[in-house]
Structure 1
Amino acid sequence: MTLPSIDSCHSQSRSRSWLLLFTSLIGGLSLLAALVGQSAQAQAPNLPQTLEAATRQDEADRLLREGVQAYSASQFAVALDRWQAALAIYQELGDRPGRTVALTNIGEAHRSLGQYAEAIAAFTQALPIAQETGDRRRQGLILGNLGVTYYATGDYTLALENLQQAQAIAQDVGDREGIATALLNQAVVYRALGQPEEADRRVQQARTAGGEGEVASQPAGETMTRLERELRIAQEQGDRQGEAAIQGAIGVLWLNQRQYDRAIAAMQSQLDIAREIGDRSLEATALNNLGLVHVELQQYPQAMDMLQDSLLVKQEIGDREGEARTLANLGRLFLEQDQPAMAIVFLKQAVNLWEALRAGLQQTNPDIQQTYTDRVASTYRLLADLLLRQDRVLEAQQVLDLLKVQELDDYLRDVRGNEQTGRGIALSEEERNMLNLYDRAIAQGRELVRLRAIAPDRRTPAQQQRLAVLVAAEQNLARTFDDFLNRPEVAAALDQLSRTTRRQNIDPVQFTALQNNLRNLNQNAVLLYPLVLDDRLELILVTPFSPPIRRTVNVPRTQLNQAVLELRQSLTDIRVNPRPSAQRLYNWLVRPLEADLAQANTQTIVYAPDGQLRYIPLAALHDGTQWLAQRYRVNYITAASLTEFDRRPQRDLRVLAGAFVQGEVSVRVGTRELRFPGLPFAGIEVENIAAQIPNTQKLIDAQFSPQATVPRMNDYTVVHLATHAQFVAGSPEETFIVFGNGDRVTLQDASRWSLPNVELIVLSACQTAVSGESNGEEILGFGFQMQRTGARAAIASLWRVNDEGTEALMTQFYRLLNQKTISKAEALQQAQISLIQDNQPPFFWAPFILIGNGL
């Protein structure tokens, strides 16, 4: 089951069906495990005792508390401002513990704002101070926060390293809660890595660390103590908004521990205060989270009431991102009650809202930006899963397309999509009827929410009377789950929906355009979409002349990912025979479609890989007799909805070829220093291109600088960069191309290029690391970013081949491309076949993939 959305502080949950671990890993609650409420003065008795110093100390402590209150109210920018001011005073006073407090909280504020690099920098500054002061518990806390932040960036390796160090320190100081928290956080990382067995093992270890029964009776003891302290401060100061926010956080902690009565009590307090002070956002938060508690209790009518009330408030205040989250939760609730048709309707609405937001119809708030994995992708995958289970393949294919765009948006942060993606998923007439029935059923509820939002002492007598009428009517209104579904007109609409959904509720114009693209290639092309689900692999094949074809392969995600890693390792080690691994994946990815591919007389596979499948080249699968490259051309795409893969190219080849041949370049990435040696055969590679294509401009070493190269690119149809490039998961600012003069250009820098005349960009010595910690979004992001510049296509390698092997393949590629009657995809295929016929191992020819327009 996929994750629902806990509102406020953006925690996620996964309990019984939606397990909610006590963890600071997913969201802003980790601040509450930071130094909230602790006086730096109490930790620094040696401060100068002058009146001025004491006054400055009090000011810093006040700023620290104000930051906590602002953070509790989700005012992250205000909190950051207060804590930075506090830090300046602590530095002035030489108060090292105070600096640790402020820096840790500053890191939390940056993380809540989605500013992960700044968060890591703040935590990294805080850590050595804690070490110098001998505060071991604080060291563990900071390391845990670093682990949380690295998780948010997608760097699961560093996340685990820091969380394991946090666990070790917690064990060393006897902090049982810290041990349990670190283990639970590791469990979430392992789940993201597709290793549920390791995750379950960490959960069990966490329970043991906390003591059987003790965790449930004293949830996150130290954190709860801090929360209760902050609650008392807020109550003493009359800060009702802060009190409501903290009550909500306490409720989430109780829910983490499955103490449902206590969770309901705290969340109800949040709701009561929010309504009293007229804070609609906090009201919607409390309603959403109360709804999820009732889901855990299997009290579905109450859950439906709470979630739809939350939805109404979010609609009233214009919180469209929150509205999408609650729509997704409602969809999951319908699914819990075995109502997949209704679930699909609400999940479609959630997806459509996210698409509208991303398309720029309304911008999301900057403090709710997170990696898509837990927020958005789970809903897209669940919707695609449900559609496929009902054989609604066309709609599932469209959802997969949009998912790939969301992945681009998560990696590059600024992919707005286009008019087509902004329309989202089409609703059938029957689905629209269902929504209309639902809207009519809650019309009175909407008015009731509006009246409840008015403070009691501000309601007019007429409003109070109307409220009483609506409250009485609410009890008779068929607005709960069971009542709504049992209404005759709803039952009839559901029956009609179940009989008509296989008509494929997709805009026929979109599907026709997709098939026209395939036909216009004149290459007997098909479009292959794999979807990796937890329990199986779904294959969707779109052909030019028939409805989409769906094939299901019963292989779990973990087993598939392990096979991907094994093939990747065998392909990149020239001493290992990759055929057994290559045949295994062929049997899952291609063999189920062999008859369909033959029926379509397939020559070209337009391929939109999912997840970690992006780390292996489809061309390197093996059918037991030959490599797939010997049977089909393979043309990768970022997403069909953003790709015109049938646009005809210019055939007048003009090449700008740069090469990094001599010397060594050192590049600093974060705390690492990477060294890149010159590529002697890159010079030969460029000379061979120039010999075959007269209109070639060569730039070697110092001449091959960004200043000399980038302004010239759009004067050529092909830009060939024989140099190092590094693809880094989760970090487009750390994905870069090394130039011959030692400079580097990041993927973000490349987004500013303008190359409308360029048909192809080739990176012939790039490298992508894979360790199970990403979904290959950096590869997708590179291809899309090159297309965004105006270039039609890009060629890159999934691992770095020695430059002699690269030179051989590239020489063949350009010889074929210069024939002008052959496409880019076919030229790459034939160049690969030539190396295969020369008995070269896949290590040399397999890593090169063509992304974008392959004509």
Structure 2
Amino acid sequence: MKHKFLNKKIILPNFGLSSSRKIKIYGLFGLSIILTILLVTKDVPVVANQPNLLNSQSITQQPDNNLDLLQQGKNYYQKGQYTEAAKIWQQALKSYQNNKDSVSQVQVLNYLALAYKDLGKIPQAQTTITESLNLLKNWKTSDNQNHLLLAQALNTQGTIQLLQGQTETAIDTWKQATAIYERAGDNTGKLISQINQAQGLQNLGQYRRAKTLLEELVTASQSQPDNLLKAQSLRSLGVALQTIGDLKQSKTALEKSLAISKQLNSPKDVSAVVFSLGNIAQDLAEYDVAIGNYQEVVNLSPEIQEKLSAQLNQLSVLVKLERWEAVEALTPIIENNLAQLAASRPAIYARINFAETLMTIEEKIESGKASLTSNNPKIAELLATAIQQAREIKDSRSEAYALQELGKLYQDNSQLAEAKKLTQQAQNIAQEMNASDLLALTATQSGAIAKAQGDIDSAIAAYETAFNNIQSLRGDLVAISTDVQFDFKESIEPIYREYVGLLLEKGDNQKNLKQARQVIEALQIAELDNYFRDACVDNYPVNIDQIDVQAAVIYPIILSDRLEVILSIPKQPLHHYTTKLSKKQVENTLRHLYSYMSRGYIREESFRLSQRLYKWLIAPAEEKLNSNNVKTLVFVLDGLLRNLPMSALHDGDRYLIEKYNVALSPGLQLFPQGLQRKKLDVLAAGLTEARQGFSSLPAVTGEIKELTKEFPAKTLLNQDFTRDKLKKELDSQSFPIVHLATHGQFSSNPQETFLLTWSDRISILDFDRLFQKRRLGILEPVELLVMSACQTASGDNRATLGLAGLALRSGAKSTIASLWSVNDESTANLMKEFYQQLNNSQLSKAEALRQAQIKIMANPLYQHPYFWASFVLVGNWL
């Protein structure tokens, strides 16, 4: 969309200036540094609890009014009145300085630094904590008290470094504090600094490391009595679990934290947990619950920044729900609260967040969905102020985000020259910081602008930079940074697609085609990483010429304005062909064809659609396939194409499976070794009776019986088929073939992907545990995993990610599964034929499945693709 800005240029303040992403408000709650609990609790700070400090002569000699000042400051701080706390502590500091009480100076300087930090006065906070650390360095004594004071100061120093964008430095600082606390035997202080480390790891996007550390800390804290520190650690764990997509466990941790916080009557901590629960509700699409949670935070919290965080998230939900009266009522309240904030990173992010939400409202206005007054000038002003504030506090990271967002605003207004300058400034900052996440963002923006200007070479170079930086972040692509919330589908995936589209505009340039293939392969891995919320997919590039000289690989990719296909044939240059179609046209065809096939409809339209898809994907390659004696087609499919069996494509005379072996691959970088032709013992498990609301599968008995005629087999049927018994058998010996004849569902949501057993369900996470000995190399990997009665989730366009997910989690070299629920009897017949063919050592798995499908379709009762095409082979086809 285009932001019109009242049909004139944006006028910005002169502050030295020659993509739509939402700043993440996990906020000052979910990712706040909990060392402030030292001041928030009703107890005195940890350091003050040390006997040596309580009995130190320097403190006991102070007049009572100095101790009163220290406590008064803590009282103000607890209420969120940081300015008053700072004033009181400044008075106390002067008194300690006059009395040359260095111990108390160190302590009050630490408190003052925290107050300045919460006021957003980051330079003053840094100066203050540096003064505290310098005093400590000058001490010649090395008793326990001094070590603990140093650890506390280092915790504060790390907090300030984090707010300055120096996350790695902050983590190192907290590690120093942890070591000191550990040597001093202070478990509480150690826990604080370790939680800070975990939150720093979250800031770097390293959520798995953060989760592991937090889980260890929560386990260690279970034996401790309920206190606010325990509540904080549970909340931090909840946020980490939410970020990696484990919403159920996240909610459990947060609810435990909430119960402790309420029990201890801590409104600040209660509001913090309620805020996080609001974010969980958003992720679960429970929008009214989320709105209610955020409103509760507004009512509970005394702090403007915390109220604002909740209001910004509330506004975002209201816009999503198009509740315009509530939006109009809330907007001026947010503006007023923003005006009260001093310059700080949270304040800057709040402005960018607000600006981005207002840009979303502008889209609604232009599309006619909202009858509101345009906020265009206000958006520019918000971002300009954010840039100014970032420069004031010398926060380069915040400045880069604000500059890029302003560049996006100019681009949307078709002011490309200004957009290019702003984006380049942001990119320069990212390069200076060596920040891969920022480089990926800014380079993507530069590429989009260059493309809009018609400079394709510059656009390709920019997208190459973005791609390379995303690849370097692969381990944490789940959420590149806590500063910005990336939706993979909306923010990351389009970078791959735009890059491929630009590369393929150059025709059959081999360098570009090879790079495009690499990007498509990388997208396949990135999608699986995102599916698992973890970069757990092992990938090793494989040369197909060394695998199967009679196999061709077909890479279709759906772009916004065309369908592109790259063809890879051993010992031949890459080739590509294009069909000019909109994404909507392609996807409509795919949806209709899936509907006909999966429901068994016999209509002329289904054949027409099947032939159309054949024309797009196969016909342009037929001459090359024939001349190179290709026997097997391996598809690396994209988008909705994954939901369709390629074997059922029709050339007007025959189905594709009648001409070629057909296999699917998530990418040849994931290619495992082929079937080892030796004794093929089978572990077969299944259900024949109706269980947990699923229908009976009476033909499973015969299916498994026929299998045992071909191979030695251990069977688990009905009551014997439980998760625990399956694991016991899998752990007992190597089974080259595992056959599971039971209901199951593949979904784009890992939590909704499962296989049914007699009394429970096997999830993707269970697959990790079931096949753990094989993944660790204790037992040999499964050669072939067969899931004969599964189906993709209805209406789920990305459900086959669940199929690939189960296959990868099992570690199986090859997987056969069904894309839709198939007739029980025809499935049993097909499986019988498949295992008979597989017993022929001269046939590959792909050929064995092909022969079985051809045999089934020869039966007049089962001619329709519904009965045989659903079964697909994923992984190694040999």
TM-score (norm 2): 0.62
Secondary structure, aligned partner of 2:841 = coil
Please report how far the alpha carbon of residue 627 of structure 1 lies from its aligned counterpart in structure 2 after TM superposition: 1.5
Distance in 2 between residues matched to 1:611 and 1:562, nearest whole Å: 12
- Further displaced range: 223-232 or 807-816: 223-232
Please report how far the alpha carbon of residue 293 of structure 1 lies from its aligned counterpart in structure 2 after TM superposition: 2.4
Distance in 1 between residues matched to 2:118 and 2:847, nearest whole Å: 60
Native 8 Å contact 1:612 1:776 kept in 2:
no
- Aligned residues, how many? 620
Please report how far the alpha carbon of residue 600 of structure 1 lies from its aligned counterpart in structure 2 after TM superposition: 2.4
Distance in 1 between residues matched to 2:287 and 2:583, nearest whole Å: 21
Counterpart residue type for residue 222 of structure 1: A
Which structure 1 residue ranges, 5 or more long, are not aligned? 4-18, 33-54, 81-103, 126-140, 151-157, 164-176, 187-205, 212-218, 422-509, 667-674
Q: 1:271 aligns with which of 387, 392, 398?
A: 387
Superposition pairs of residues 81-92 of structure 1, within 5 angstroms: none
Q: 1:830 to 1:161 in 2, by over 3 A?
A: farther
Superposition pairs of residues 553-632 of structure 1, within 5 angstroms: 553-577=579-603, 578-632=606-660
Work out whether 1:806 is the aligned partner of 2:860. no
Q: Partner of 2:435 in structure 1?
A: 319
Please report how far the alpha carbon of residue 615 of structure 1 lies from its aligned counterpart in structure 2 after TM superposition: 0.6
Secondary structure, aligned partner of 2:877 = coil
Q: 1:363 to 1:124 in 2, by over 3 A?
A: closer
Q: 1:380 aligns with which of 478, 496, 507?
A: 496
Distance in 2 between residues matched to 1:372 and 1:418, nearest whole Å: 20
Counterpart residue type for residue 791 of structure 2: Q
Native 8 Å contact 1:2 1:382 kept in 2:
no
Q: Deviations over 1:290-314 (max 9, x none)?
A: 2222323444443333223222323
Work out whether 1:698 is the aligned partner of 2:715. yes
Q: Partner of 2:529 in structure 1?
A: 409
Distance in 2 between residues matched to 1:329 and 1:599, nearest whole Å: 44
Q: 1:780 aligns with which of 804, 807, 812?
A: 804
Distance in 2 between residues matched to 1:67 and 1:781, nearest whole Å: 44
Distance in 2 between residues matched to 1:830 and 1:797, nearest whole Å: 17
Please report how far the alpha carbon of residue 737 of structure 1 lies from its aligned counterpart in structure 2 after TM superposition: 1.6
Counterpart residue type for residue 405 of structure 1: I
Q: Partner of 1:400 in structure 2?
A: 520
Superposition pairs of residues 349-498 of structure 1, within 5 angstroms: 349-359=465-475, 364-365=480-481, 370-391=486-507, 392-416=512-536
Native 8 Å contact 1:371 1:410 kept in 2:
no
Secondary structure, aligned partner of 1:526 = strand
Please report how far the alpha carbon of residue 828 of structure 1 lies from its aligned counterpart in structure 2 after TM superposition: 0.3
Q: 2:338 aligns with which of 224, 231, 252?
A: 231
Q: Partner of 1:341 in structure 2?
A: 457
Q: Partner of 1:766 in structure 2?
A: 790
Counterpart residue type for residue 681 of structure 1: A
Q: 1:545 aligns with which of 551, 568, 571?
A: 571
- Further displaced range: 614-623 or 698-707: 698-707
Q: 1:142 to 1:286 in 2, by over 3 A?
A: closer
Work out whether 1:676 is the aligned partner of 2:702. no
Work out whether 1:292 is the aligned partner of 2:408. yes
Q: Deviations over 1:603-633 (max 9, x none)?
A: 1101111001111100111222121111111
Q: Deviations over 1:68-110 (max 9, x none)?
A: 9999999996999xxxxxxxxxxxxxxxxxxxxxxx9999998
Counterpart residue type for residue 769 of structure 1: A
Work out whether 1:243 is the aligned partner of 2:331. no
Distance in 2 between residues matched to 1:555 and 1:354, nearest whole Å: 29
Q: Partner of 1:735 in structure 2?
A: 753
Percent of pairs identical after alignment? 27
Q: 1:584 to 1:780 in 2, by over 3 A?
A: same
Q: 1:2 to 1:340 in 2, by over 3 A?
A: farther
Q: 1:526 aligns with which of 549, 552, 563?
A: 552
Q: Partner of 1:489 in structure 2?
A: none
Q: Partner of 2:865 in structure 1?
A: 842
Q: Deviations over 1:195-240 (max 9, x none)?
A: xxxxxxxxxxx7xx969xxxxxxx95334223223224424xxx64
Q: Partner of 1:712 in structure 2?
A: 729
Please report how far the alpha carbon of residue 283 of structure 1 lies from its aligned counterpart in structure 2 after TM superposition: 1.7
Distance in 1 between residues matched to 2:868 and 2:448, nearest whole Å: 45
Please report how far the alpha carbon of residue 547 of structure 1 lies from its aligned counterpart in structure 2 after TM superposition: 1.0
Q: 1:144 to 1:359 in 2, by over 3 A?
A: closer
- Further displaced range: 334-343 or 610-619: 334-343
Counterpart residue type for residue 727 of structure 2: V
Q: 1:149 aligns with which of 261, 283, 287?
A: 283
Q: Deviations over 1:357-382 (max 9, x none)?
A: 21579995467564421221100000
Work out whether 1:825 is the aligned partner of 2:846. yes
Distance in 1 between residues matched to 2:701 and 2:552, nearest whole Å: 38
Please report how far the alpha carbon of residue 638 of structure 1 lies from its aligned counterpart in structure 2 after TM superposition: 0.9
Counterpart residue type for residue 753 of structure 2: T
Q: 1:367 to 1:700 in 2, by over 3 A?
A: farther
Q: 1:119 to 1:716 in 2, by over 3 A?
A: closer
Q: Deviations over 1:819-839 (max 9, x none)?
A: 111111000000000011112
TM-score (norm 1): 0.64
- Further displaced range: 608-617 or 721-730: 721-730
Q: 1:180 to 1:359 in 2, by over 3 A?
A: closer
Native 8 Å contact 2:486 2:492 kept in 1:
no
Distance in 2 between residues matched to 1:711 and 1:115, nearest whole Å: 27
Please report how far the alpha carbon of residue 653 of structure 1 lies from its aligned counterpart in structure 2 after TM superposition: 3.9
Q: Partner of 1:14 in structure 2?
A: none
Runs ≥4 in structure 1, deviation > 6 angstroms? 29-32, 58-63, 65-80, 104-113, 118-125, 141-147, 158-163, 177-184, 360-363
Q: 1:832 to 1:183 in 2, by over 3 A?
A: farther
Distance in 2 between residues matched to 1:240 and 1:179, nearest whole Å: 22
Distance in 1 between residues matched to 2:440 and 2:551, nearest whole Å: 36
Secondary structure, aligned partner of 2:654 = coil
Q: Partner of 1:516 in structure 2?
A: 546
Counterpart residue type for residue 229 of structure 1: N
Q: 1:285 to 1:730 in 2, by over 3 A?
A: same
Distance in 1 between residues matched to 2:378 and 2:240, nearest whole Å: 28
Distance in 2 between residues matched to 1:178 and 1:248, nearest whole Å: 13
Counterpart residue type for residue 534 of structure 2: D
Q: Deviations over 1:572-613 (max 9, x none)?
A: 223433433322322222223222322222211011110011
Please report how far the alpha carbon of residue 265 of structure 1 lies from its aligned counterpart in structure 2 after TM superposition: 2.3
Q: 2:356 aligns with which of 247, 252, 268?
A: 252
Which structure 2 residue ranges, 5 or more long, are not aligned? 4-18, 29-73, 83-114, 121-158, 166-195, 204-234, 257-274, 291-311, 363-373, 775-779
Q: 1:338 to 1:810 in 2, by over 3 A?
A: same
Please report how far the alpha carbon of residue 662 of structure 1 lies from its aligned counterpart in structure 2 after TM superposition: 4.3
Q: Deviations over 1:699-727 (max 9, x none)?
A: 22222223232343351211111112211
Native 8 Å contact 1:611 1:776 kept in 2:
no
Please report how far the alpha carbon of residue 342 of structure 1 lies from its aligned counterpart in structure 2 after TM superposition: 1.2
Q: Deviations over 1:142-193 (max 9, x none)?
A: 999889535xxxxxxx799999xxxxxxxxxxxxx9999889748xxxxxxx
Q: 1:27 to 1:361 in 2, by over 3 A?
A: closer
